[in-house]
A and B are shown apart, each in its own frame.
Chain A
Amino acid sequence: MTHANELTITQARDALSAGDLSATELTQACLDAMAAARDLNAFITETPELALQRAAQSDARIARGESLGGLEGIPVAVKDLFGTQGVLTTAASHILDGFIPRYESTVTENLLNAGSVMTGKTNLDEFAMGSANVTSYYGPVKNPWKRDDGKDRVPGGSSGGSAAAVAAHLSLAAIGTDTGGSIRQPASFCGIVGMKPTYGRCSRWGVVAFASSLDQAGPLTKTVRDAAILLQGMAGHDVKDSTSAPMAVPDFEAAITGDVRGLRVGIPREYQIDGSPAEIDAIWQKGADMFRDAGAEIVDISLPHTKYALPTYYIVAPAEASSNLSRYDGVRYGLRIDGDSLDQMYENTRGEGFGDEVKRRVLIGAYVLSAGYYDAYYVKAQQVRSRIAEDFKTAFQKVDVILTPTAPSTAFAIGEKMDDPIAMYMNDVFTVPASMAGLPCMSVPGGLGDDGLPLGLHLITKPFDEETLFRAGDVLEKQANFTARPNSGGAGR
């Protein structure tokens, strides 16, 4: 049999309930794989003792016939943006040095209550700001996928550690957060499934905030079904988050029927961008063909304000971030670099504590909110944001799901685009519009690019219609039959 860490959640669930595998064995396999693949730098903190302790508890529950459900005993890697009680929580920033929360984020608490086992805290871009996982204070993450040129590739970002960990089978699954594409783009780069639910589906309580009106937790998994199972354990209304939706959570896995006959799949013409590589058009076309083959109806649609989404995002997200990051001031926790005055202490602490990309966004954000510029930037951006949401609303009168590419390229080499922030920001061009509208969306591996690296296909549905998203994603996954494996990293290969 394959090594336990290479199982999907679905397979492990069956093996655990059949008694063929213990949670402890499964967890140990992941811990061994993590230890063997430290070169990837996917984890900031490994939590082997805690993981084995929880796995043992899980085994005890299974033995007593008190299994907590689909995630009982399943190892999950957690992006180091989620506050985890008693476990270092860094947001990959120097400024949170030594910060150990006394609280557990709602999402990770939900996962604990569902019986899952946290194996460690994964690396990310500092404060989730980045598309390549190169802004982490703890160093870049390497994509387990390699090219023949031998250069290390980025895993995408900001949930790069989570994506790399799943792709390299260091964990059965991982959770991340997505603000403008931070789950979906790394999923595309690493050849896995990455899903962002509707804004409000998962609580943001206890998750280090980047851009509050956009941040949303979601699963990174090996299969679409696994994503449905993992999201089931994460989601739910939380009175501690005023923006979490007071709605019941449907049975996501039950929505996966394998049948998309009659499903209307929209192809938005504005996602056809100038200078887009032929391989991107090709994979997109392949996606449409696969849906048609499965009995879905392909419909051309228009989302006219698409081209404004990225610039608008880079006003709204930094604006919120500049304010959200004000609390990191050296006064109460984390890093403090003393100075002769309070202002000097602030300057020293924030000057040393934040990396360049974070500083860039804090500056952009402070600028667009400042007197005299607020109306021209922030207010205008909010107006455009409403238009973008209206575009989708109109489109969803004609279609059930929208299909686009996830990213404009395959994974690039570490070090590329570092001196060109705009080129870096372009990574999110296909993922940002759905984020601005708060819609559920998912990247599913579609195939390989010309360079042999994975490319994802991106699906978007109506607010709170994750069920259609999983149903469509599952069919696409089966049609694509993506079986390629990364050629580096991971133990037990």
Chain B
Amino acid sequence: MSYLIKGETADWELVIGLEIHAQVISNSKLFSGSATAFGAAPNSHVSLVDAAMPGMLPVINKHCIEQAVKTGLGLNAQINLHSVFERKNYFYADLPQGYQISQFLHPIVGEGKLVLDMEDGSVREIGIERLHMEQDAGKSIHDKDPRRTFIDLNRAGVCLMEIVSHPEMRSPEEAGAYVRKVRSIVRYLETCDGNMEEGSMRADVNVSVRKVGETDLRTRTETKNVNSVRFMMQAIEYEAQRQVEVWESGGAVDQETRLFDPDSGETRAMRSKEYAHDYRYFPDPDLLPIELTEAFIDAIREQMPELPDQKKKRFMRDLGLSAYDADVLVGERETADYFEVVAQGRDAKAAANWVISNLFGALKAAEKDITSSPVSAEHLGRLLDLIADDTISGRIAKDVFEIMFATGQDPVLIVEEKGLRQITDTGAIEAAVDQAIADNPDQAEEVRQGNAKAIGWFVGQVMQKTQGKANPQAVNKLLRDKLSS
């Protein structure tokens, strides 16, 4: 699969690298005891350290280190035993210290790789350059007052992981798949909630283009402010097209930071290189280097949950699921967990079908997600049991499911209360069949003349008479016996 932009002079390919900023799940900030909860009143989670009062010192939050190591392991990456916090110096009103404590020369996590299963069945491997830890800045609010800017420091000092990919993605789809994969992994690990709308996961997108066959990289731009996978893919498409037009018209792409505007779907220059910061990185003298031991890393490794790739393989190998079904089910940990409860001791393929076709469809229509599903995994499993032991037919099961979705009730209860149990008593079915034949002599004659289609019509009649409870196979067989000439 190759994604190329046709220009006047050549075909152009995309070179995409991503920097994902993932907010670490932790009760307190990276270097202070302040709470990290989202949505609190402005400036209510701000300690003396966060506000950079004179003489305040950062103290590292060990839990954040564990979270970063865990994420590194989840990204199949090298964990560095020695890493260093450095100061990235720049002035901004929502950066109280006048520097961001980050990692630069010695990040906590080094080279790793992610495997992407593309929709067309191809597999892409994307290299990860590094993961480093850093403090988030506060928030500047410009739209409350025409002249003034308000500052909210609740976010200042919250721990972020910056996950930097190699520039190895070649299409918006690959970039999309990469972000979804990273999101899936951090959510499995519970190191980041992956919520892009609330900004707890954000991506900066580095894009350049080059003519097919070129080996050197051309100038790239960095686009910020993409807060969904869809926007990111739009931004890449727009930016690549723009760059091709610049090159084709004899111009040159400027190395610059651009901002994505979700309303127009366009990117625009934010800061040009004349204003490029010299961040004057140097090791933070207030903090000692982080020295990890193998034992510390091993202890974290032992607590690692099964990750999506492993789970997918297991679903395919042990449960016989198709690659597509397995992929859909492992994307979210909650979905996979739900599916496993449904499939436990049952036909896994049938369970996968019900979860993917029926449940997902209903959830989507109701704008709910798996965690708020009115149908519990236990109940769905019981519904499958009712089908498997012929208590109800597959058709009735769909009706039962609808009731379950609307009421949250146990399917066993619904079947009993509504009297939906399948009629397996051949006597009762035979009576209904005889009745139907007697009531419709013309149609019966048609069947006898060899119109096989009319059998279906008789089945429908019998099912209607029995409110769908007759076993359709039994009805079919009786009709054939009785109407065979």
Which residues from 90 to 144 on chain A have a C-beta closer than 8 Å to any C-beta of chain B? 91, 96, 99, 101-103, 105
A239 in contact with B59 (CB, 8 Å): yes
How far is the CB of B284 from the nearest CB of chain A, in Å?
8
Chain A residues near B59: list those with CB within 8 A: 239-242
**Contacts known (A83-B55, A239-B59, A332-B52); A370 close to B280, Cβ less than 8 A:** yes
Chain-B contact segment, one of A157-165, A188-196, A207-215: A207-215
User: Does B115 touch A at the CB level, under 8 Å?
Assistant: no
User: Does A329 touch B at the CB level, under 8 Å?
Assistant: yes
Chain A residues near B278: list those with CB within 8 A: 370-371
Which residues from 21 to 52 on chain B have a C-beta closer than 8 Å to any C-beta of chain A? 48, 51-52
User: Does B87 touch A at the CB level, under 8 Å?
Assistant: yes
User: Does A308 touch B at the CB level, under 8 Å?
Assistant: no
Please report the C-alpha to C-alpha distance between residue A240 and residue B288 in the assembled complex, in whole angstroms. 13
B57 in contact with A205 (CB, 8 Å): yes
Which residues from 315 to 341 on chain A have a C-beta closer than 8 Å to any C-beta of chain B? 319-320, 322-323, 325-327, 329, 331-333
User: Does B285 touch A at the CB level, under 8 Å?
Assistant: yes
User: Does A427 touch B at the CB level, under 8 Å?
Assistant: no
**Contacts known (A242-B287, A243-B286); A89 close to B48, Cβ less than 8 A:** no
How far is the CB of B41 from the nearest CB of chain A, in Å?
18
Chain B residues near A366: list those with CB within 8 A: 280
B53 in contact with A103 (CB, 8 Å): yes
Please report the C-alpha to C-alpha distance between residue A208 and residue B98 in the assembled complex, in whole angstroms. 15
Please report the C-alpha to C-alpha distance between residue A440 and residue B280 in the assembled complex, in whole angstroms. 31
User: Does A206 touch B at the CB level, under 8 Å?
Assistant: yes
Please report the C-alpha to C-alpha distance between residue A394 and residue B339 in the assembled complex, in whole angstroms. 67
B89 in contact with A331 (CB, 8 Å): no
User: Does B93 touch A at the CB level, under 8 Å?
Assistant: yes
What is the total of A-B residue contacts with beta carbons within 8 Å? 98
Please classify the interface of chain B as helix (H, G, I), strand (E, B), loop, or mixed, using the class held by over half of its residues.
loop
B56 in contact with A242 (CB, 8 Å): no
A83 in contact with B99 (CB, 8 Å): no
Return the chain B residue nearest A331 by Cβ.
B93
How far is the CB of A414 from the nearest CB of chain B, in Å?
28
A91 in contact with B54 (CB, 8 Å): yes
Please report the C-alpha to C-alpha distance between residue A212 and residue B151 in the assembled complex, in whole angstroms. 28
Chain B residues near A320: list those with CB within 8 A: 282, 285
User: Does A369 touch B at the CB level, under 8 Å?
Assistant: yes
A331 interface neighbour in B151, B286, B287, Cβ under 8 Å: B151
B51 in contact with A332 (CB, 8 Å): yes
Please report the C-alpha to C-alpha distance between residue A215 and residue B281 in the assembled complex, in whole angstroms. 21
Return the chain B residue nearest A369 by Cβ.
B280
How far is the CB of A236 from the nearest CB of chain B, in Å?
15
How far is the CB of A43 from the nearest CB of chain B, in Å?
19
Please report the C-alpha to C-alpha distance between residue A317 and residue B432 in the assembled complex, in whole angstroms. 98
Which residues from 261 to 315 on chain B have a C-beta closer than 8 Å to any C-beta of chain A? 278, 280-282, 285-288
Chain B residues near A212: list those with CB within 8 A: 285-286
User: Does A412 touch B at the CB level, under 8 Å?
Assistant: no
User: Does B199 touch A at the CB level, under 8 Å?
Assistant: no
Chain B residues near A96: list those with CB within 8 A: 54
Please report the C-alpha to C-alpha distance between residue A240 and residue B98 in the assembled complex, in whole angstroms. 21
B89 in contact with A369 (CB, 8 Å): yes
Chain A residues near B286: list those with CB within 8 A: 209, 212, 242-243
A326 in contact with B97 (CB, 8 Å): yes
Chain A residues near B92: list those with CB within 8 A: 342
Please report the C-alpha to C-alpha distance between residue A59 and residue B92 in the assembled complex, in whole angstroms. 50
User: Does B460 touch A at the CB level, under 8 Å?
Assistant: no
A to B CB contacts below 8 Å, 30 in the list: A82-B55, A83-B53, A96-B54, A99-B54, A101-B54, A101-B55, A102-B48, A103-B48, A103-B53, A204-B57, A209-B286, A240-B57, A242-B57, A242-B287, A243-B286, A243-B287, A323-B89, A323-B98, A323-B282, A327-B54, A327-B98, A329-B91, A329-B93, A331-B151, A332-B52, A342-B149, A366-B280, A371-B280, A374-B282, A378-B282
